[in-house]
Amino acid sequence: MSNNVDIPYKTYLNENEVPEAWYNVRADMKTKPAPLLNPATGNPVTAEEAEHIFCKELVRQELDDTTAYFPIPKEIRDFYRMFRPSPLVRAYFLERALGTPAKIYYKFEGNNTSGSHKLNSAIAQAYYAKEQGLKGVTTETGAGQWGTALSMACAFFNLDCRVYMVKGSYEQKPFRREVMRTYGASVTPSPSMLTEVGRQINAAHPGTTGSLGCAISEAVEDAVSHEGYRYVLGSVLAQVLLHQSIIGLEAKAAMEKLGVKPDVIIGCAGGGSNLGGLIAPFMGEVLRGEADYRFVAIEPASCPSLTRGVYAYDYCDTGKVCPLQKMYTLGHDFIPSANHAGGLRYHGMSATLSELKHQGLMEAKSVKQTDVFAAAQLFARTEGTLPAPESSHAIWGAMQEALECKKTGEEKTILFGLTGTGYFDMTAYQAFNDGTMGDYIPTDDDLAASFAKLPKV
């Protein structure tokens, strides 16, 4: 800890240094992500078609792959001031425990009631829904972080919020549900009997505990069948990565203040929003030939889209109502085994991150669950914060890099995203502490069966 006099433990920007525009990394990509396709026609989705499902301004952001900067409206910046800027932390105590010469920094996004980075996009999406004069929005939530963030955002703008929560989580995480209800959202376990697709799934699979793909289909149906409602999504889409670029822009500004540059930037990848946001401005420098960084995505071995998926067009939801997206996918019918990092259980991946991986600009690794929790435990004991299971994938990734530096003696600078806290994940920690946690990894045959059902585009 020789440096702790020179470099503070936490670095905050001043409020007037918080970025005033989001950065759209697609603007600097020579080969852009492939366009979204209409599932009915197979043609690229038009703005008009998408506006039946999504908010107008969000569609504009989604389809714009050339504008680099989008000014952040004042109302959103005002809300950000309640929990931003978020701190950039030097993990001195983790470094000491690992005995590494590496310097580890993390950007901490868990410092708000929703407990994750998802509030950065939720407030933007609620703002545009309000601006459009809508009555409310519908969405799905798996582990519950996105639903919580969206309820907070809708409460702020006085919008109705209808959340379809995967039934398994609804029953296992009653406190998440109550937080959402406290903020005024209605929460329905999915599959429900309120929608046509929900009734069909219940009839076909009696007693099912649901899935994210199925909850998405229900939320979309609810939105398109009610006047004044639109559907919003908390990850995967380019608009969400755009909003999450606030993480990377702040991290980059804080590191510049300290006079340090990361060698490697690491994040967990579910649908890709936090990682896409964290790396965005750094990736922009690489794409423009101004700098050189390594980027590493960490995903669960139980749901390994980037490391074992195929790069192909696939449906984003079980009911096949959302646009088709070209991405690394395990197949829309793939149901990952029970895994405690609920936020990382999506079959696909952001099209932008998929294309960057495909171009060789980003690496990916997968890790098994018990290794993730061992990393989480060490982090909690050294750095104090109890991390979310999702975030702990990134902690594991940073530890691997730091331990490599210990072998080689290199003093690399590592930056990772600590996306949230794990207070609602104590059954997972309990399984780890009791030694009953499993490490299910799909076989090649499991994946082949799922790939066989990919749409032929």
Ligand X SMILES: *Cc1c(COP(=O)(O)O)cnc(C)c1O
The residues of the shown chain that bind ligand X, judged by CB under 6 A, are 116, 118, 145, 235, 268-274, 343-344, 388, 390-391, 419-420
Can you give the C-alpha Rg of the chain in angstroms?
21
Counting Cα atoms < 13 Å in the Cβ hemisphere of 276 gives 31
**Smallest distance, ligand X to C-beta of residue 339, A:** 12
Give 100 or 352: the residue with its C-beta nearer to ligand X: 352
**Smallest distance, ligand X to C-beta of residue 225, A:** 27
Give 126 or 247: the residue with its C-beta nearer to ligand X: 247
**Smallest distance, ligand X to C-beta of residue 227, A:** 30
Contact between 133 and 150 (Cβ < 8 Å): no
CA atoms of 172 and 306, how far apart (whole Å):
28
Give 150 or 214: the residue with its C-beta nearer to ligand X: 150
Q: Which two tokens stand for residue 417?
A: 């995203």
Give 366 or 391: the residue with its C-beta nearer to ligand X: 391
Please give the full DSSP string across 281-330, using - where no structure is assigned.
HHHHHHHTTS---EEEEEEETTS-HHHHSEEEEEESSTTS-SPEEEEEES
CA atoms of 33 and 62, how far apart (whole Å):
11
**Smallest distance, ligand X to C-beta of residue 40, A:** 27
CA atoms of 327 and 314, how far apart (whole Å):
7
Contact between 103 and 415 (Cβ < 8 Å): no
Give 100 or 270: the residue with its C-beta nearer to ligand X: 270
Contact between 414 and 263 (Cβ < 8 Å): yes
Give 90 or 118: the residue with its C-beta nearer to ligand X: 118
**Smallest distance, ligand X to C-beta of residue 237, A:** 10
Contact between 282 and 430 (Cβ < 8 Å): no
Amino acid at 117: H
- DSSP letter at 6 equals T
Bond preceding residue 387 cis, omega within 30 of 0:
no
Number of H helices, E strands in the chain: 18, 15
**Smallest distance, ligand X to C-beta of residue 412, A:** 24
Give 271 or 281: the residue with its C-beta nearer to ligand X: 271
Handedness of CA 71, 124, 67, 297 (dihedral sign): positive
Pairing type for strands 88-90 and 136-141 reads unpaired
267 phi and psi, to 5 degrees? Answer: -150, 160
Give 187 or 405: the residue with its C-beta nearer to ligand X: 187
Contact between 200 and 176 (Cβ < 8 Å): no
**Smallest distance, ligand X to C-beta of residue 93, A:** 21
Give 201 or 316: the residue with its C-beta nearer to ligand X: 316
**Smallest distance, ligand X to C-beta of residue 288, A:** 25
Residue found under tokens 């991986």: 357
**Smallest distance, ligand X to C-beta of residue 79, A:** 18
**Smallest distance, ligand X to C-beta of residue 391, A:** 5
CA atoms of 373 and 304, how far apart (whole Å):
17
Give 25 or 344: the residue with its C-beta nearer to ligand X: 344
